[in-house]
Amino acid sequence: MYLSNSSEKPEHNFFYLIKEGHQNLYDKLSQATPNKETYKLITIRKSPFINVGPCKYILSDNSFLLEKTYSQFLNDFWFDWIKNVKDEQGKSKFKITLYRSAFGYFFENYMGEILKVCFENYKHSILLMFNQLKLPTKNGNIEIADVYFRSNSKIILGQVKSSSIYDDDKFGGTIDTLYKNDRNSFFEKFGVNQLVKSIEILEEHMINIDLKFPKGHVYTIYPCIFLNDKALQTPLMADTFNARFQELIVDLKTNKVNIKPLTLIHINDLEKLENYLNKTPRRSGNYFVLIKETNILFLQYMQL
C-alpha cells in the first residue's frame, strides 16, 4: 500500500504508507501459492495482498484478510509449520487431533467472552456456560450443554463447535461428498445430536443448577449451534441442519415444551452483534433470541 494525495477525502483514501520495517510482512502476505484448483482461491486466502511494485500492495478483499488473521492462519500454521516437525523416525511429531483440540479450547473461551459481553447488561436472567453446566452424578459427570441462557420461561440452549469442513468436501460437487457418505455422522460431528441430548435431559437435571428453571411448566427452547467454519454460512445450510434436527426431536415435542427451529450462529455473526446486544437492553425489559429463518440472521425480542 502507498500514500495517496493528502487532499483526497478520507472516505476516498484507499492508499496508505507502509510503516518502516513492515515490508517483510507485506511481502510474505503477497506471495503467490501455485494451485491448479483455482476455485479454492488458495492464493488470496493465504496471501490477501497483491504486490504491484516496490513497497506497493493491493488488498484483494477485506474478508480474506480477516479470514487470514484467524481461521486461515490456523490452517497455514498447521500445514506450513507444525505438520512438518518430524521425530527421530521421520514421522510428524504432532497429531492434528492434538492441534485441533487446543484450537477448540481457545474457541470455546473466546466464544464465552463474547457471550458474557452480549448478556452482561440484561437483568432477571441467567447465563451459564461450559464447566458451569457439568453436573456430577452417581454415574459420572453429565454435560447438559455448552451454553444456557434463560429469561423467565424462554431458554437459549446451545452447543459450541470448532469443527471444520475440508476443502475437498466443500468443493466435491455432491451432497454425498460433503457428508463423506455418512449423513448421520456429519451432523453428529457438528453437535446436532448433542443438542438433542441436551433437550432430552434438560428438565431432569437443570433444576439442580438453575434453581428457577421452570420444571413442570410450559417453556420455550431456542436451540442453536455456535460455529466457526464459514462454509456453514452459505445459503440453505441452516435449513439443511434444521431438517436433520427436526428428524431427531419428533419424540421430544410436548404441550409443555415448545422447541423452536435450530439456529446456526457463526462467530462472525456474533462479533458483529456484540456491541449492539450489549448496549441495547430494551427499556421495556425485552430480551432477545437469535433466530435464523431462510438463512437470514435477525433479532426476535422476548417480551417479559
What's the pLDDT score for residue 173? 64
Three-state secondary-structure class, residue 257:
strand
Instruction: Using alpha carbons, select from 287, 291, 300, 221 the residue that is nearest to residue 263.
Output: 291
Angle between helices 267-279 and 96-119 (to 10 degrees): 20
Question: What is the mean pLDDT of each successive set of 10 residues along the chain, which is 304 residues long?
Answer: 49 65 82 74 79 81 74 75 82 80 84 88 86 86 92 90 71 71 86 94 92 91 88 80 93 86 86 78 47 43 42
Task: Give residues with Cβ within 8 angstroms of 225, minimum separation 6.
Answer: 158, 159, 160, 161, 190, 191, 192, 195, 241, 262, 263, 264, 265
Instruction: Using alpha carbons, select from 117, 113, 106 the residue that is nearest to residue 73.
Output: 106
Instruction: Using alpha carbons, select from 253, 264, 278, 115 the residue that is nearest to residue 187.
Output: 264
Alpha-carbon distance values, 245 to 65, 100, 132, 196, 260 (Å): 34, 26, 25, 8, 11
Query: Among positive and negative, which fits the CA dihedral 282, 152, 203, 138?
Result: positive
Burial, 89: exposed, middle or buried (Cβ in 10 Å; 0-12, 13-18, 19+)? Answer: exposed
